[in-house]
Structure 1
Amino acid sequence: MREAMSIWFFAGVLFLIYGVIITAEGFWELAHPPLHPPVLFNLHASLWWGGMMAIAGLVYTIHFWPRVRK
């Protein structure tokens, strides 16, 4: 008998996907800096935010992974 899938599993998968995309974009910005960077560009917020989202998404995905009940 299968347990019902939690909505938090899907939220974790989305967080993981968005985190990976944002982190990749942050690395792209790091390799190709803009001509006129924003004021706080040196903080690299996309790397931090994307990394935190990816870690949170991974934790949620693993924790709420659907299991088969015996």
Structure 2
Amino acid sequence: MTATDLSRAVWRTSARSQQNGACVEVAPTPDAVAVRDSRDQDGPVLLLPPETWQAFSQRIKRGTYDI
């Protein structure tokens, strides 16, 4: 497995993010979607296949994970 180079990644947060810092940032790469904690930008990054990110974000929009 090769490491994904994120040095040129363009990170963004959702327009719906609150300003309290409890957000994640995402960056598309050629073969994955990178996800990181907006408060720990030098911390770990989760790489998800685009299909997995799409399914996850759709479930969020539907409220599947709402408590």
TM-score w.r.t. length of structure 1: 0.27
Which is higher, the Rg of structure 1 or of structure 2? Answer: 1
TM-score w.r.t. length of structure 2: 0.28
Q: Which of the pair has the greater relative contact order for Cα pairs under 8 Å at 6+ separation? A: 1
- Considering fraction of residues, name the structure with more helix: 1
